[in-house]
A and B are shown apart, each in its own frame.
Chain A
Amino acid sequence: MSRVESRGLILAHFWVAFLAFVAAALLGLYQVSERSGLFPALESNHLYFQSVSTHGVLMGFVLTTFFAMGFGYYCAIESLKRPLWSPGLAWTGFWVALVGTVLAAVALLGGQASILYTFYPPLQASPLFYLGATLLVVGSWFWCLEMVMTMRAWKQEHPGEPVPLAMFGNAVNGTLWFVTSLGVALEVLFQLLPWSLGLKETVDVGLARTLFSWTLHAIVYFWLFPAYIALYTLVPRAAGGRLFSDEVARIALIMLLVFGVPIGFHHLYMDPFQAAGWKFLHMTGTFMVAVPSFLTAFTVTASLELAGRLRGGKGLFGWIAALPWTNPIVLAGILALLLLSVGGFGGLINASYSMNSLVHNTQWVTGHFHLIFAGTTVIMYFGIAYHVWPRLTGRALFSEKLARIQLWSWAIGMVVLTFPWHALGLQGQPRRISTTPYDTPLVETWQINEVLMIVGGIILFVSAVLLVVNLAASHATRDSGAGAESFAAPVQPLLRLPTVLNGVGFWFWVLVIYMVVSYGYPIGQFFVLDTHGAFPWSI
């Protein structure tokens, strides 16, 4: 497959991702309106949970998986200047994942899978949904293999040379996602699917939640990796500078791989079937993830500072104004870093074993993960799309001004949406409910925040439509697009690297050992302790 032919593969992934995104954004607007209690005609518990489930699956699984896959292929081809290891395998993965998406969507839209994005039992969906979700994950495994094998093929052709950072980051993400997704795959294949098919009567909820926690948090880093890779390799160059340190970027990505996966129990702090010691271990790992986050914030900001100084910025903060704020991917990067700072700050409360109880299952949690996911990750997806589209279509972007309006409106809309959620959470509003028809004096104090949520939802939906319109119109512009990709060069030229910073094999086994330590006994106990339905033939 030539670089020109590969553009179809990448665009196919991106279009599936963004069409799912715009549909999910519309559902989000419905949900904030329904939940506010201000529109009685909209109120329907049944429809609300159907919508929330579809919104979560489309955003959390479809948008992210297809985008990460498409971006991985883009980075591989553009940074290595060679074809993929097996283009046929890449297309197979795409179709398997797409068929899975369609099956899951049929179940969701038919009201047979209103079990939220986490699909925790005893909520049960139709087998069609579980089958679709499984195929989506299996399709993404083709991508994981493609990333690792393409990098390996390049290394064989270039012995001793440092793998380009963009490719290295995607190979790390492929490894992370493969290990991460095994948890939910085990849960679906051995518990949920047989249970929904009626092959067994019940399911061990504790084991199911433990297996899902394996996937539930690390999936966030799978989503976040394309954003980080772009912040390291695309944004500094687009800003007119260089990457402050290639080695630090690699260390941060490796730390995310190692510490990002075995920490899922911070989603189970209130669950009774795991002992406090294991929760403490996972909490410690969760706080370790702050280290690569700080490394990334520092390295990318320093890269931007260098760019600003090269553009004539003076003084302690003069470089900020000197940055090219009109460049969509630079603007997206700055907004993403700002929202990541705020969202990460709030996340410290969720991650803390003790403070978590203050906000557990409140709207604070919804506000936090929307700020990190939609504020940081998705805004970078937009920036990446605006950056790569002219290179993929061979045509200029329809409107850079529209892109800037879209990015600003998304960031503002996300603040308007999520800050009230944080406030509502602190005031005790639960999440995962469709209406709040109780304790009237208390609910009345929430009203201003409910209105703000709707305003935020409207801004975000309009912004989502602007994105899709701009990208679609960019297929038909007359001006020619940008040339081949050029990734950011590091300040210190990279001549040689230690083997452990130039491959993923060593870190894969470190992660496997860490996973055995963190999850071995917590999962094994379900087969040892005398709990209901704990034996292998009825897990």
Chain B
Amino acid sequence: MTESSAQEEEIIRNFSPRGTWALLLVLIAGMAVGWVALFVLYLSHGAVH
């Protein structure tokens, strides 16, 4: 096993997807803000039907 592949194996063995959790939380938070924005937009136009 070469030095670089041994290093890769160590990264894979110790891998924990903490960055994935963080990214998904950021996206979900963004969507929560989006919900509020859409709700305001929906209320803003008044009766159209």
| Interface residue ranges of B18-48 to A (CB < 8 Å) | 18-20, 22-24, 27, 31, 34, 38, 41-42, 45, 48
B24 near A301 with CB under 8 A, answer yes
Closest to B7 in A: A310
> Which A residues are in CB contact (< 8 Å) with B48?
427-428, 439, 442
Least CB distance, A369 to chain B, in whole angstroms: 17
Q: Is A466 an interface residue (CB 8 A)?
A: no
Chain B residues with CB below 8 A from A491, complex form: 12, 15
Known contacts being A341-B31, A423-B41, A426-B42, is A305 close to B20, with CB within 8 Å?
A: yes
Chain A positions 179-215 with a Cβ under 8 Å from a chain B Cβ: none
Stretch at the interface among A145-153, A266-274, A313-321, A400-408: A313-321
Q: Is A302 an interface residue (CB 8 A)?
A: yes
Our pick among B11, B12, B23, B41 for the contact of A301 (Cβ within 8 Å) is B23
Query: Which residues on the B side are within 8 Å of A315 (C-beta)?
Result: 19
**Given the contacts A310-B11, A426-B45, A491-B12, A341 and B22 also touching, CB distance less than 8 Å:** no
A130 contacts the other chain (Cβ, under 8 Å)?
Answer: no
Q: Is residue A244 contacting chain B, with contact meaning CB distance below 8 A?
A: yes
Which residues of chain A are within 8 angstroms of B23 by Cβ–Cβ distance?
301, 317, 320
Tell whether, in the assembled complex, residue A305 and residue B11 are in contact, meaning their CB atoms are under 8 Å apart: no
Contact A345 B20 (CB under 8 A): no
B26 shortest CB reach to chain A, Å = 9
- Cβ A445 vs Cβ B15 within 8 A: no
A-B pairs with CB below 8 Å: how many? 60
Residue in A244, A341, A345 whose CB lies within 8 Å of B17: A244
Is the CB–CB distance between B19 and A319 below 8 Å?
yes
Residues of A within 8 A of B20 (CB): 298, 301-302, 305
Minimum CB distance partner of A344 in chain B: B31
Interface of B is mostly: helix
A242 sits at the interface (CB 8 A):
yes
Task: Give the interface residue-count category, chain B.
Answer: 20 to 34
Query: Which residues of A have CB within 8 Å of B45?
Result: 426-428, 445
Expressed in whole angstroms, the minimum distance between the Cβ of B46 and any Cβ of chain A is 9
Query: CA of A177 to CA of B8 in the docked complex: distance in angstroms?
Result: 40
Contact B12 A242 (CB under 8 A): yes
Q: Please tell me if the beta carbons of B49 and A309 are within 8 angstroms of each other in the complex.
A: no
Binding site secondary structure of chain A? helix
Q: Given the complex of chains A and B, what is the CA–CA distance between A298 and B22 in angstroms?
A: 11
Residue of A nearest to B15 (CB): A306
User: Which listed residue (A242, A345, A439) contacts B31, Cβ 8 A?
Assistant: A345
Residue of B11, B22, B31, B49 near A317 (CB, 8 A) is B22
Residues of A with C-beta under 8 A to B34: 342, 345
B24 contacts A298, CB within 8 Å? yes
- Are B41 and A426 in contact, with the CB atoms below 8 A? yes
Docked pose: A321 CA to B24 CA in angstroms: 16
A297, A309, A427: the one within 8 Å of B11 (CB): A309
Q: Does A469 have its Cβ within 8 Å of any Cβ on chain B?
A: no
Instruction: Find the A residue at minimum CB distance from B19.
Output: A305
Complex: how many Å from CA A320 to CA B27?
Answer: 14
The residue of chain B having its C-beta at the shortest distance from the C-beta of A300 within the complex is B20
**A429-444 interface mask toward B, CB cutoff 8 Å, 1 = contact, 0 = none?**
0000000000100100
Tell me the smallest distance from the CB of A419 to a CB of chain B, in Å. Answer: 11
- CB-CB contacts below 8 Å: A387-430 with B: 422-423, 426-428
Measured between beta carbons, the chain A residues less than 8 angstroms from B17 are 244, 298, 301-302, 305-306
Q: Name B31's closest neighbour in chain A (CB-CB).
A: A345
Given A306-B15, A309-B11, A316-B18; A358-B24 close (CB under 8 Å): no
> What residue in chain A is nearest B12 (Cβ atoms)?
A491
Q: Who on chain A is nearest to B18 by CB?
A: A316
Contact A309 B15 (CB under 8 A): yes
Chain B min CB distance to A440 (Å) = 13
Given A319-B19, A426-B38, A426-B45, 11 more A-B residue pairs with CB atoms under 8 Å apart are: A297-B24, A305-B15, A305-B17, A306-B12, A308-B19, A316-B18, A316-B19, A317-B22, A342-B31, A427-B41, A428-B49
* CB-defined A-B contacts under 8 Å, sample of 26: A242-B12, A298-B17, A301-B17, A301-B23, A302-B20, A305-B19, A305-B20, A308-B19, A310-B11, A315-B19, A316-B18, A316-B19, A317-B22, A320-B19, A341-B27, A342-B31, A345-B31, A422-B38, A423-B41, A426-B42, A427-B41, A428-B45, A428-B48, A428-B49, A442-B48, A491-B12
B residues near A (Cβ < 8 Å) are: 8, 11-12, 15, 17-20, 22-24, 27, 31, 34, 38, 41-42, 45, 48-49
The 5 closest A-B pairs by CB, nearest first: A428-B48, A302-B17, A302-B20, A301-B20, A427-B45
